[in-house]
């Protein structure tokens, strides 16, 4: 079991975050340090510490996560102009929070939230 992280607390609503989308599989919230007009983090509700762990995770979990990331981009109306999905893994991948998270970034702000 991975150590408790700030994202566990955001998921449990123990600390505040600007949630932009949520469903059974994922929670999406604005990055506290945005690098683009749209910069949200998407985490799986079923915890995974880092991307590398997906190699032995049930395919359903990996699929649910990536489908959830795509739903977030859809809900934020980013599909027409496009967006970037970034995953950091481990120290040299500059992952600082040990809870799998995809960054969804876009240059153009279409979000209505
Ligand atoms: P990484 O470096 O890949 O582990 O990304 C962590 C990101 O999480 C980083 O861009 C900043 C963001 N972040 C860290 N703490 C918080 C927080 O408490 N709230 C929110 N919304 N974002 C956070």
Whether 22 is in the pocket of ligand 1, judged by its Cβ within 6 Å, is no
Contact 72, 84 (CB under 8 A): no
Confidence (pLDDT) at 113: 46
pLDDT exceeds cutoff 80 at 75: yes
φ and ψ at 67, to 5 degrees? -65, -35
CA of 73 to the centre of ligand 1 (A): 18
pTM above 0.85, yes or no: yes
Active-site positions read 101
Whether 88 is in the pocket of ligand 1, judged by its Cβ within 6 Å, is yes
Beta strands 19-22 and 84-87: pairing type? unpaired
Minimum CA distance residue for ligand 1 atom 16: 32
Confidence (pLDDT) at 90: 97
Calculate what percentage of the chain has a pLDDT beyond 70.
Answer: 94
Confidence (pLDDT) at 102: 98
Confidence (pLDDT) at 108: 73
pLDDT exceeds cutoff 60 at 91: yes
């Amino acid at each position: 079991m991975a150590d408790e992280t700030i994202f566990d607390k955001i998921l449990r609503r123990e600390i505040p975050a600007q949630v932009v989308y949520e469903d059974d599989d994922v929670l999406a919230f604005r990055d506290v340090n945005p690098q683009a007009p749209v910069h949200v983090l998407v985490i799986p509700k079923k915890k995974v510490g880092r991307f590398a762990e997906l190699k032995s995770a049930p395919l359903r979990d990996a699929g649910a996560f990536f489908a959830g990331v795509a739903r977030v981009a859809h809900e934020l109306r980013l599909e027409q102009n496009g967006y970037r999905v970034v995953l950091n893994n481990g120290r040299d991948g500059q992952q600082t929070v040990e809870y799998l998270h995809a960054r969804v970034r876009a240059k153009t702000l279409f979000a209505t939230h």
